[in-house]
Amino acid sequence: MWYVAGYYHGEYAAVGLAVSEDGIHWKCANNGQPVFDPGPPDAFDEACPEGPCVIHDNGTWKMWCSGLMKSSDGPLR
C-alpha cells in the first residue's frame, strides 16, 4: 500500500510504502523511509507528492501522483 505521510522532516509530506501478507497486519517498507520525496524547488511536487496511483505493468511498478507547490504567501498552492 502506498500512502502519503504528513510532515516529513518537520515540514511537508512524502509517499511511503507499507506491506502486508494478510491485508490486516502492515509493516513499513524501505526501513520506514519515503519511497517518493517532495521534488526540487519549482517542481509540481516541491511541497509534497499526493494521491499516488500505482499499477503493476508487465513486471514493472509504475506510479502517478499529483503534487503541491509552495507559494510566495504561504506554504502550499
Q: In the 3-class helix/strand/coil scheme, how is the chain assigned residue by residue?
A: CEEEEEEECCCEEEEEEEECCCCCCCEECHHHCCCECCCCCCCCCCCEEEEEEEEEECCEEEEEEEEECCECCECCC
In this prediction, residue 27 carries a pLDDT of 96
Run means of pLDDT, 10 residues per run, the chain, 77 residues: 72 86 95 88 86 92 87 58
0.85 exceeded by pTM: no
The residue assigned the cell 501478507 is 21
Q: Domain-by-domain residue ranges, the chain? A: 2-68
In this prediction, residue 21 carries a pLDDT of 96
